Amino acid sequence: MDFIPQIEPSFDEKEADAVREYVLSGGWGTEFKKTAEFESRLAEFTGAGHCIVTTSGTIALTLALLARGIGPGDEVIMPDLTMIATANAATLFGAKPKFVDIEPETLNIDIAQVERAIGPKTKAVIHVSLNGRSNDLDALVRLCKERGLYLVEDAAQSLGSYFGDRHLGTIGDVGCLSFSMPKVITTGQGGAVLTNDAEIAAKARKLKDFGRAGGGNDIHDTIGFNFKFTDFQAVIGIEQMAKLPKRLERKKDIWRRYREALAGIDEIAWIETDTGKVAPWFVEIFVAGREALAAELKEKSIGTRPIYPPIHAQEAIGLDNLSFPVTEDFAARGLWLPSSVTITDRQIDYTCDAIRAFFGG
Ligand SMILES: Cc1ncc(COP(=O)(O)O)c(C=O)c1O
């Protein structure tokens, strides 16, 4: 069996032809009509009132926070189990992440603990719908409204996943998507801010375009940056969006195939997932001593990846005097299995056979 990567992107003639056509059409490369079209497709798909694309999911989160004026001295509550970008997006402009533990059923931020963590400096909460799953966002919206807090949804992993009938990233004040390589659609790098709030949308647009007072001029009434997208990326994004519905179905099939093939192995724990609402970007299992399993799978040409370590204890953050037991427990056991949209049923079955054999089945 050829090596099965844990994740790989998928492009074909559609993207190649679209880039060629764009380049030969005299497009300037910089964000313009193709970017606007990509934004419209995303807004239409998610139901968001406004969509602003930017350089990455990290910068989408940063723009979301800056658009509400969050900065030095402000605290942002977030889960301890997430990709480190969630925290770094706040740190970039001097805000301080305040970590809380997660719920074991969904691996989402523990809402009761959010309530306890709110202090005088708290300005915002970031909810992370890890792997497209969500806990009770309505309860979190209520809590944030009551306490005057800005609710940001880090929906980087959640394009195509829903809470009830609402797309993730459209329920809080603002939501953020990522189009980095491992995501269900990719533009190489890229991210988007989703919001129904016209003021937040206008601020985010201005912040990413040098703080220009109007399009195309050099009059600046506020500080801004260059976090703009490119039309080169947008033409790829538009083609990837056309493939999205099929990809989401495939992601759900992949999840179900693994779940069924590995059912009954007592050593494996799962986060149960409703594929009616959730299109998991990665399939993850939880096993004690995952390193031995990962090594065995590598021997058999199967790529895996441990899930994120608890952020508070990362050297970059340096809060290892704190403890978040649920995060620590899941982070120590979580292993991502091969999950690309390109994976074949045969490769999934081969991977599941190898896992079964490891557990002596
Ligand atoms: C939950 C989460 N937040 C933020 C990010 C950052 O996105 P990007 O890599 O586009 O900066 C990621 C990327 O994997 C993520 O998974």
pLDDT value of residue 127: 98
pLDDT value of residue 115: 98
Residues 126-138 have pLDDT tens digits of: 999 999 999 999 9
Residues 213-234 have pLDDT tens digits of: 887 789 998 999 999 999 999 9
State the Cα–Cα distance between residues 107 and 324, nearest whole angstrom.
12
pLDDT value of residue 361: 77
Q: Give the list of residues 6+ apart from residue 210 with CB closer than 8 angstroms, or none.
A: 220, 224, 225, 226
Q: What is the mean pLDDT of residues 238-247?
A: 98
Please state the pTM of the whole predicted model. Answer: 0.98
- Does 86 contact ligand 1 (Cβ within 6 A)? yes
Give CA 281 to chain center in angstroms: 9
Does the pLDDT of residue 208 top 90, yes or no?
yes
pLDDT value of residue 59: 98
Asked whether the domain spanning 244-358 has the same topology as the one spanning 13-238, the reply is no
Residues 268-315 have pLDDT tens digits of: 999 999 999 999 999 999 999 999 999 999 999 999 999 999 999 999
The yes or no reply on domain 13-238 and CATH 3.40.640.10 is yes
Q: In the CATH scheme, what is the code of domain 244-358?
A: 3.90.1150.10
Res. 264 pLDDT band, cuts 50 70 90 = very high
Say how many Å lie between the CA of residue 59 and the centre of ligand 1.
Answer: 9
pLDDT value of residue 241: 98
Percent of the chain past pLDDT 90, that is, above it, reads: 98
Q: Give the list of residues 6+ apart from residue 165 with CB closer than 8 angstroms, or none.
A: none
Q: What is the mean pLDDT of residues 144-162?
A: 98
The full set of domain ranges for the chain reads: 13-238, 244-358
Mean pLDDT of the chain: 97
Residues 72-100 have pLDDT tens digits of: 999 999 999 999 999 999 999 999 999 99
pLDDT value of residue 216: 76
- Does 57 contact ligand 1 (Cβ within 6 A)? yes
State the Cα–Cα distance between residues 129 and 159, nearest whole angstrom.
10
Which residue out of 54, 58, 179, 336 has the highest number of ligand 1 atoms within 8 Å of its CB and is therefore the one to mutate? 58
Ligand 1 atom at shortest distance from the alpha carbon of 189: 10
- Does 129 contact ligand 1 (Cβ within 6 A)? no
State the Cα–Cα distance between residues 31 and 22, nearest whole angstrom.
12
